[in-house]
């Protein structure tokens, strides 16, 4: 999180990119962002289930059959989420980052900082013995080898050292109007009007900085994906819908690469910080996908199967066996 603090204060987007947020219209309290009367009525009458920001923004199945079976009129119950190395790793990364944010660092020089960080790293491992064992076990039980738990821990350790070092530099550079770690609120329970904005309540973003008009999300994986920004747009709309005249203008993605796509080398990588305006184009993109999602879950029948070339997520889907029973064809190793 301290990397976010440094990146924001150095980039100073409220000055360098101020034109990008000067004419935002699609705020969460603007009726132009509200659901149509049809979907609002169905929500009020409990005909359809409400959708969270992640339900709307995270598009795993290209045709959204998974969303339909989870939230649609003919939803399937009693099916647990299939565990994957990537999902479990993402949860541990979030815990690690929040752990760093709660820890104050005053150590210097480098050698002392490293010793303090390594002690906290060992404590994190001791406190997460079972999740780490589960993660290790998932390495060999999935259709493809997704990740390396030992290497992930090495990346977390290096990233933790970097976070501590940046926090120390920030303590020397900060000014009275600088964004500071104390301004960051994690898991704030935003409570929008669901029938209006179509986002289930509560809608807690990974972190939010109301004083600076910032909302953020922690993402993990192999590479940064454009739809990651949609989550920030959704949380901004939810916050503005609840708070009325209080605005969120900026999104930040804290992206931590948990998996290395190369089989030949394991580089030490660090968190990547993406700062962007939540402008009307991004907001409209989220609203269009929201409306599409509610249209899908309102239908009497699920969407069609994805094209064969777009079935890369099928092996990890909780509804795979149901789709196979309906006629979906997968390769033997899937």
pLDDT at 317 over 90: no
Q: In sequence order, what are the residues at sequence separation of 6 or more whose Cβ sits closer than 8 angstroms to the Cβ of residue 184?
A: 1, 4, 5, 101, 207, 208, 209
SS3 call for 253:
strand
Q: How many CA atoms lie within 13 A of 101 on its CB side?
A: 19
| Residue 331 lies inside a defined structural domain of this protein | no
| Residue 334 lies inside a defined structural domain of this protein | no
* Radius of gyration of the CA atoms of the chain, in A: 21
Q: 321-325: list long-range contacts, CB under 8 Å, 24+ apart.
A: 322/69, 322/76, 322/79, 323/65
| Residue 69 lies inside a defined structural domain of this protein | yes
| Residue 157 lies inside a defined structural domain of this protein | yes
pLDDT at 143 over 80: no
Q: What is the pLDDT of residues 241-252, one digit of tens each?
A: 999 989 999 999
User: What is the Cα–Cα distance from 263 to 311, expressed in whole angstroms?
Assistant: 23
User: What is the Cα–Cα distance from 215 to 199, expressed in whole angstroms?
Assistant: 16
Q: Which of 144, 197, 167, 262 is nearest to 34 (CA)?
A: 197
Q: Domain tally for the chain? A: 1
Q: What is the pLDDT of residues 98-141, one digit of tens each?
A: 888 877 766 778 898 888 888 889 999 999 999 999 998 888 66
Q: What is the pLDDT of residues 154-210, one digit of tens each?
A: 999 999 999 989 988 998 899 999 999 999 999 999 999 999 999 999 999 999 999
- Domain containing 298 equals 2-325
Q: In sequence order, what are the residues at sequence separation of 6 or more whose Cβ sits closer than 8 angstroms to the Cβ of residue 185?
A: 207, 208, 209, 210
Q: What is the pLDDT of residues 258-307, one digit of tens each?
A: 876 665 677 888 999 999 999 999 999 999 999 999 999 999 999 999 99
What is the reported pLDDT for 301?
92
| Residue 185 lies inside a defined structural domain of this protein | yes
Q: What is the pLDDT of residues 82-95, one digit of tens each?
A: 677 888 899 899 99
User: What is the Cα–Cα distance from 257 to 278, expressed in whole angstroms?
Assistant: 23
Describe the strand order of the beta sheet including 272-277 as a list of residue ranges: 185-186, 207-209, 214-221, 250-257, 272-277
Q: What is the pTM of this model?
A: 0.92
79 confidence band (pLDDT: 50, 70, 90): low
Q: Where are the alpha helices (DSSP H) in the chain?
A: 2-11, 13-16, 37-44, 53-57, 65-71, 85-101, 110-127, 129-138, 149-173, 194-197, 228-243, 280-297, 320-325
Q: What is the pLDDT of residues 92-108, one digit of tens each?
A: 999 999 888 877 766 77
CA 226 centroid distance within chain: 12
Break the chain down into helix, strand, coil percent, rounded to 5. 50, 10, 40
Q: Give yes or no for a contact between 157 and 117, defined as CB atoms under 8 angstroms apart.
A: yes
| Residue 332 lies inside a defined structural domain of this protein | no
Q: Which of 215, 216, 194, 219 is nearest to 294 (CA)?
A: 194
Q: Give yes or no for a contact between 277 and 21, defined as CB atoms under 8 angstroms apart.
A: yes
| Residue 330 lies inside a defined structural domain of this protein | no
Structure tokens at 128: 């997460």
Q: What is the pLDDT of residues 10-66, one digit of tens each?
A: 999 999 999 999 999 999 999 999 999 999 999 988 889 999 999 999 988 999 999
CA 187 centroid distance within chain: 12
Other CB atoms within 10 A of residue 208 CB: 25
Q: Give yes or no for a contact between 237 and 290, defined as CB atoms under 8 angstroms apart.
A: no
| Residue 186 lies inside a defined structural domain of this protein | yes
């Amino acid at each position: 999180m301290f990397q976010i603090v440094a990146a924001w204060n150095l980039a100073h987007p409220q000055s360098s990119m101020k034109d990008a947020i000067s004419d935002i219209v699609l705020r969460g309290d603007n009726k132009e962002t509200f659901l149509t009367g049809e979907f609002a009525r169905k929500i009020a009458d409990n005909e359809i289930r409400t959708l969270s920001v992640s339900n709307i923004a995270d598009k795993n199945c290209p045709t959204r059959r998974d969303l339909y079976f989870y939230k649609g009129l003919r939803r399937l119950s009693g099916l647990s989420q299939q565990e994957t190395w990537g999902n479990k790793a993402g949860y541990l990364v979030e815990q690690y980052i929040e752990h760093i944010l709660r820890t104050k660092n005053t150590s210097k020089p480098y050698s002392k900082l490293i010793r303090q960080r390594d002690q906290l790293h060992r404590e994190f491992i001791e406190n997460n013995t079972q999740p780490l064992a589960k993660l290790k076990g998932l390495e060999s039980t999935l259709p493809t080898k997704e990740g390396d738990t030992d290497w992930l821990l090495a990346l977390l350790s290096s990233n933790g050292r970097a976070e501590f070092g940046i926090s120390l530099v920030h303590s020397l550079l900060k000014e009275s109007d600088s964004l500071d770690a104390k301004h960051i609120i994690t898991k704030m329970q935003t409570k929008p009007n669901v029938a209006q904005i179509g986002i289930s309540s509560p809608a807690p973003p990974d972190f939010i900085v109301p004083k600076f008009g910032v909302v953020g999300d922690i993402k993990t994986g192999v590479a940064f994906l454009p739809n990651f920004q949609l989550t920030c747009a959704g949380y901004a709309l939810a916050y503005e819908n609840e708070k009325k005249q209080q605005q969120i203008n900026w999104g930040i993605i804290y992206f931590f690469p948990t998996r290395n796509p190369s089989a030949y080398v394991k580089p030490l990588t660090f968190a990547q910080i993406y700062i962007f305006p939540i402008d009307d184009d991004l907001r409209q993109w989220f609203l269009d996908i929201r409306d599409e999602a509610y249209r899908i879950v309102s239908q009497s029948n699920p969407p069609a199967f994805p094209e064969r070339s777009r079935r890369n997520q099928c092996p990890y889907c909780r509804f795979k066996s149901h789709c196979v029973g309906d006629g979906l064809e997968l390769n033997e190793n899937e």
